[in-house]
Structure 1
Amino acid sequence: MSATSPTSVFAQAQALGEEALRAAVLDTAAALLAAEGPAALSMRRLAAAAGCSTTVLYRLFGAKDGIAAALYREGFARLRRRLDAVPSDEDPAAYLAALGRAYRANALEEPNFYSIMHGEAIPGFTPDEESRAAAAASLDVLRRAARACVEAGVLRADADVDEVTDTLWAAAHGVISLERGGHFPAGLGEERFRTLTRAAVTAFLA
């Protein structure tokens, strides 16, 4: 077990409460995973990096599989908070576009979590039903915005809201993945994002 340093992640977050502590440890775990690969996601390695004991980790997450599930759910929880923070707009199309920009910003600002949410960052990890439900719920705000566009006549009256949501999500994820992989010239990621997401919306225009 690891001794607690006054300046450790654990010591700093502990003073802010259980939720802050949990989030700080998950930040450390996601950074370790990105920097060192899946082998770094062990209780001892994470405890050393966070400056806490393995006992604390077992209390917070159960076991190693619990950390993987918590990382997955935390990524989508952060996305949900980012989307919920987008101010609503009287123009439903403008609001839908703003949500798309917020999705991209979250992906670029939380790259470690994004890789866990949408990739094979943790080999062998399969989200359970509860985790997948939490992931789906993170897109409820996007689904409501798509429905508002249908009701306002921006999108076709017969457009399936779930299909609209899934299509926009797939388009956004695809272009963000290419941007994160360095496949676009510097500075053109946002432009490519706008072009592809607008093209995806075109299929459903009234």
Structure 2
Amino acid sequence: MSNVDKPSLSKGRALKTYQQARLQNTENLRKLVVDAAATILQDEGPEAVTVRRVSQKMGCSTKIIYSLFVNKEGLAQQLYLEGCKLLATRMEEVPPSSDFSQHLLDLGEAFWQFAQDYISYYKLMFGGAFAEFKPDAESMQGTMTAIHRLLILISTAQKQGQISDQQETETLVSTIWASLHGVIHLHMSGFLGDVKAAHSVYKQTMNLMSQSLFAVSKPDRGADRG
């Protein structure tokens, strides 16, 4: 049989170099470690997430964890980004609506539910659960991606004249963001009673913000009489 007739052993296979295979194995291991840390975070809370605890759950030495993430803060950053993905998914699940005011309320409700369903992630991302961890540029970009729907909503409403454009879009979003965090933090600190009572305050806060943002400017009747 000639060389032309011989079937290629590599046909249909994705061949990789040693370096590529090693890199893939490292990335797979990083993902497994992050998954283990995420499980501890959700089941036991942020204070339980230590390099030693994660290594015990993984059945490996702490040296391996340090080689992958350098320190606990490196691991915290990956958990932060994982939380951003969860938040982004929750926000993206909110169906679009031509009623911008109602859509804002729906996005706000999605954020409340995220904080309740993923309380440990919330504390890590926004509650300073890891005192040594400070979000870097990549982490902050992850947060902006997570609230992309809110940015788009406010920007679109401004372009259509439903919200005043006298304030920058980012400023309005930050104001909304800060208000919602304020209620959630007060609730987590025990100042707003049980979940039902806190949720009521949260919804009232959302309603007041929505009414303020989407208030229809009325003409000055005095000017008409003049």
TM-score scaled by length of structure 2: 0.71
Report deviation, 1:18.
Answer: 6.9
Report deviation, 1:141.
Answer: 1.2
Q: Which residue of 2 aligns with 1:13?
A: none
Q: Which residue of 2 aligns with 1:173?
A: 181
Q: Which residue of 2 aligns with 1:70?
A: 78
Separation in 2 of the partners of 1:128 and 1:185?
A: 34
Report deviation, 1:148.
Answer: 2.4
Report deviation, 1:197.
Answer: 2.0
Identity, % of aligned positions: 24
CA pair 98-122 structure 1, distance change in 2 beyond 3 A: same
| Runs of 5+ consecutive residues of structure 1 not aligned to the other structure | 1-16
2:155 to 141, 147, 152: 147
CA pair 97-20 structure 1, distance change in 2 beyond 3 A: farther
Deviations 1:53-72 (A, max 9, x none): 23664575454232111122
Contact 1:93 1:149 in 2 (8 A): no
**Within-5 A mapping of 1:31-70:** 31=42, 34=45, 37=47, 40-48=48-56, 50-54=57-61, 57-58=65-66, 61-70=69-78
Q: Which residue of 1 aligns with 2:201?
A: 192
The answer to whether structure 1 residue 201 and structure 2 residue 187 are counterparts is no
1:160 to 141, 161, 168: 168
State the number of aligned residues: 186
CA pair 157-123 structure 1, distance change in 2 beyond 3 A: closer
The answer to whether structure 1 residue 107 and structure 2 residue 115 are counterparts is yes
Contact 2:104 2:153 in 1 (8 A): yes
Report deviation, 1:75.
Answer: 1.7
Report deviation, 1:126.
Answer: 1.6
Provide runs of 4+ in structure 1 moved above 6 Å: 17-20
SS in 2 for 1:188: helix
CA pair 85-130 structure 1, distance change in 2 beyond 3 A: same
Question: What is the one-letter code of the residue matched to 1:26?
Answer: A
1:129 to 112, 130, 137: 137
Question: What is the one-letter code of the residue matched to 2:60?
Answer: S
- Bigger Cα displacement from structure 2, 81-90 vs 50-59: 50-59
Deviations 1:8-54 (A, max 9, x none): xxxxxxxxx7797355323234247726x3xx443222122x24323
Contact 1:33 1:121 in 2 (8 A): no
- Bigger Cα displacement from structure 2, 144-153 vs 161-170: 144-153
Deviations 1:134-159 (A, max 9, x none): 22222111110112222343322434
Q: Which residue of 2 aligns with 1:25?
A: 36
TM-score scaled by length of structure 1: 0.77
